[in-house]
Amino acid sequence: MAKTNYERVTEILKIESEAIARVSANLSSETVDRAIKILSSTAGKVIVTGVGKSGVIAQKIAQTLTSTGTVAVFIHPSDALHGSLGVIAEGDVVVALSNSGETDELLAILPALKLRSVPIISIVGNVASTLAERSDAVLDATVDKEACPLNLAPTASTTVALAIGDALAMTLMTAKGLTAEDFAANHPAGRIGKRLTLTVESLMHPSPNVSPDDGWLTVVRSISNYSLGAVNVIGPDEKLIGIITDGDLRRTIERTDPAAFNGLTASSMMTADPIRVSPSMLAYDALRLMEDRPSQISVLPVVDDSGRSVGILRLHDVVGSGL
């Protein structure tokens, strides 16, 4: 009986996951320590290289290294043979990927690398290969079989090589003490960077204020004029004492006899001592504060360290920022 698509997909995933597990078990601590020592002690950059599918994996490893605190560039061996060797200098490190370890273009640049006294870390599927023999550290990426039904297309082998590259990058990241702020500095435009760097101060609006004794009509006009869906209620010292939202206004009107409207004041309509945020708080943390609760908050008052009202943060603006 022919396998279903589901069975084929899960079988392939199992083959690749098992390949990673076997490689993890086969790596020696001495080899890993040697590779990490070479990478962490280099005064230059990391050159990652490979051909074909290994080249694609090498590009991804280079990008991961760079984004996590280790300067790395991808150079194709053919380009290196035609001038790009000039990018590689003494003090750099080369990470070379090849399943066979006998890739002609890679082997051709080895003499030039040795002349520059550049150490070589190889990720290979054949530890008895020429590339492995000429490397300073060899990471064994041998797989029993590819996930390809014909055992031809690089699948399990490229997955293993990528996993090893990721493991090296993450270990280096830890060794160098990279912080979330450091990581965000390399990702300023993406969602990750924004979550780690964008503050409430960047998104808040100037504080729309009313006094506790202001009447309901003044409150209505203030909410309309500022168009923020709420106003802050402040005392004589500009300290926040409450907030009045559209919802507070509506609920107050619903439960109040029209004849008593003239007696309504901001203090009688406000939510006293509301949840508040500081200008320096990360906008993402403020978003979680607004959303991770039984009843969602659409606006938050912003106060400085002394409790003085300085702004209002709207859920609409936080979501609109791309967080």
Structure confidence by residue, pLDDT tens digits, 194-225: 776 788 999 999 999 999 999 988 999 999 99
Evaluate if residue 190 carries a pLDDT over 90.
no
Q: What is the pLDDT of residue 83?
A: 86
User: What is 84-134 written as a DSSP string?
Assistant: GGGG--TT-EEEEEESSS--HHHHHHHHHHHHTT--EEEEES-TTSHHHHT
Helix (H, G, I), strand (E, B) or coil at 231: strand
Structural domain boundaries of the chain? 5-177, 200-320
Give percent of the chain with pLDDT exceeding 90.
Answer: 64
| Sign of CA pseudo-dihedral 157, 160, 166, 170 | negative
Residue 299 has pLDDT above 80, yes or no: yes
**Model confidence over 5-62: pLDDT tens digits?**
999 999 999 999 999 999 999 999 999 999 999 999 998 999 999 999 999 999 999 9
Q: Which pLDDT value is given to residue 318? A: 87
List pLDDT tens digits, range 70-116: 889 999 999 998 888 889 999 999 999 999 999 999 999 999 999 99
Whether 118 has a pLDDT exceeding 90, the answer reads yes
pLDDT of residue 260: 83
**Beta strand 137-140 pairing with 120-124:** parallel
Say whether domain 200-320 belongs to CATH 3.30.110.70: no
Beta carbons within 8 Å of 216's beta carbon, 6+ residues apart: 249, 252, 253, 261, 264, 265, 266, 269
Is pLDDT at 126 greater than 90 in this prediction?
A: yes
**What is the pLDDT confidence band of residue 321, given thresholds at 50, 70 and 90?**
confident
Confidence of residue 182 (pLDDT cuts 50, 70, 90): low
The CATH superfamily label for domain 5-177 reads Glucose-6-phosphate isomerase like protein; domain 1 (3.40.50.10490)
Average pLDDT of the chain? 90
Indicate the pTM of the whole model: 0.66
